[in-house]
Structure 1
């Protein structure tokens, strides 16, 4: 069963535009590793200094365990963490869902 995870991070004040520019694409080798580790979807929205991540993955904890050994991910985290207010926490389990509206049955 696919897990759906929501995370929140924050860019450093003044780094919003740089974050958007640098995160417009990710390295192809990192994307390939993420897909091989079970990521189906990863979307990020920004509202001012709030970044909201939505992830669909086979097993988010296993994904993070696998990426801990990835040179491509380590390089990406170093690159992006300089723009974040606090480093990305791969052990975060996500936000708690409060409410949702499903599409009506056909």
Structure 2
């Protein structure tokens, strides 16, 4: 299993909308993510900065499977209007520098 951290940034003024939109995600989207190996996906927000921690069997396989999935396309369109720039989901994640296990 892989654990990776990702980051994204909100447009100014979109904080409350983003939080509200993420109170629940569409069931079809969650089901597709779980079927494609997602064990958990957590998002922390500090002002406009978003930090994601994803536990997934294979992140590259998840991205390939979700790329054309209608539930993900709809969700990305909904979320992209709130983001400042592109979501950094294709980067492979942040580099882990230190961990206390």
**Does the aligned pair in 2 maintain the 1:41–1:57 contact within 8 Å?**
yes
Q: Do residues 96 (structure 1) and 95 (structure 2) align?
A: yes
TM-score normalised over the length of structure 2: 0.96
Aligned length: 101
TM-score normalised over the length of structure 1: 0.92
1:55 alignment partner in structure 2: 54
2:20 alignment partner in structure 1: 21
CA apart distance, 1:89: 3.8
User: Structure 1, unaligned stretches of length 5 or more?
Assistant: none
CA apart distance, 1:90: 3.4
Larger Rg: 1
With a CA cutoff of 8 Å and minimum separation of 6, indicate the structure with the bigger relative contact order. Answer: 2
Change (3 A) 1:70 1:32: same
| Separation in 1, partners of 2:10, 2:30 | 21
| Separation in 1, partners of 2:10, 2:90 | 19
CA apart distance, 1:87: 2.5
2:71 alignment partner in structure 1: 72
Question: Matched residue of 1:31: which SS?
Answer: helix
